[in-house]
């Protein structure tokens, strides 16, 4: 579970960093927010940049603490193996891949639970071009799944979409009345309508 949480934190940090790099003015993590005269830059959304940077700092602190707990857990297990007379060389090497495998498998398991219902799709939009339809229940969009939404809210989805403008995202949906998920390729992009997708998601 801790490895899963660490991967989730890493992904949120990555998405926020990409968002900062792709925002107007491209402030990034360390770009100046004031001009040469000391006034807030007009080409940058200073408030949002500061929020994202603060969030990244908090996440990095959480990640460091979590990884320390994981390391302590591995050391404790190693010590227990030694005390029980188990084979010292193979103990840690057998244990290390297991949490990783669990973390990789977790999204697949979580993907069975939809987190939103598409209740509107605009014609000629990126969503329509991808094949998304009203009634589709969204299981995952890129790395975002029901567990990510439960811990970070729908804002995580917005940050992901902004960071992937012009780049394809794998979207897994459950069509209405069907039991088998459908995988689509959605590329967020500017179009004649509002936003980068052209669809509305109703949280479940």
| pLDDT per position as a tens digit, 43-56 | 888 888 888 888 88
Residue with the bigger pLDDT between 172 and 41: it is 172
* pTM reported for the whole predicted model: 0.50
Q: Rounded distance, CA 163 to CA 155, Å?
A: 12
Alpha helices per DSSP H over the chain? 2-22, 46-83, 90-95, 97-110, 126-130, 146-152, 155-163
User: pLDDT confidence of 184, banded at 50, 70, 90?
Assistant: very high
Rounded to 10 degrees, the C-alpha dihedral 164/197/155/34 comes to: 60
How much is the average pLDDT of 153-174? 90
* Residue 1 pLDDT grade (very low, low, confident, very high; cuts 50, 70, 90): low
pLDDT of residue 85: 63
CB atoms inside a 10 Å sphere around CB 199: 22
pLDDT of residue 23: 83
Q: Stretch 151-171: mean pLDDT, rounded?
A: 89
pLDDT tens, 95-122?
A: 444 433 333 333 443 346 899 999 999 9
Q: How far is CA 140 from CA 131, 148, 166, in A?
A: 15, 10, 19
By DSSP bridging, strand 199-203 and strand 182-186 are unpaired
CA pseudo-torsion sign 43, 51, 171, 196: negative
Lowest mean pLDDT among 42-46, 68-72, 129-133, 167-171: 68-72
55-71: pLDDT as tens digits: 888 888 888 888 888 77
Q: Tokens for 49?
A: 């940049």
Higher pLDDT, residue 65 or 196? 196
């Amino acid at each position: 579970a801790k490895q899963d949480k660490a991967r989730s934190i890493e992904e949120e940090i990555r998405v926020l960093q990409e968002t900062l790099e792709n925002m107007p003015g491209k402030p990034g993590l360390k770009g100046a927010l004031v001009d040469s005269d000391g006034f807030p830059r007009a080409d940058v959304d200073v408030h949002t940049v500061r929020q994202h940077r603060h969030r990244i700092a908090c996440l990095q602190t959480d990640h460091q603490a979590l990884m320390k707990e994981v390391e302590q857990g591995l050391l404790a297990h190693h010590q227990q193996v030694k005390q029980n007379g188990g084979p010292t060389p193979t103990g840690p090497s057998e244990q290390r891949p297991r949490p990783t495998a669990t973390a990789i498998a977790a999204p697949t398991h979580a993907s069975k639970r939809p987190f939103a219902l598409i209740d509107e799709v605009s014609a000629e939009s990126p969503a329509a071009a991808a094949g998304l339809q009203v009634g589709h229940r969204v299981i995952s969009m890129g790395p975002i799944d029901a567990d990510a939404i439960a811990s970070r809210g729908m804002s995580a989805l917005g940050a992901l979409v902004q960071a992937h403008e012009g780049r394809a995202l794998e979207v897994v949906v459950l069509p209405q009345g069907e039991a088998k998920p459908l995988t689509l390729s959605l590329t967020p992009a500017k179009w004649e309508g509002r936003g980068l997708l052209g669809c509305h998601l109703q949280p479940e």
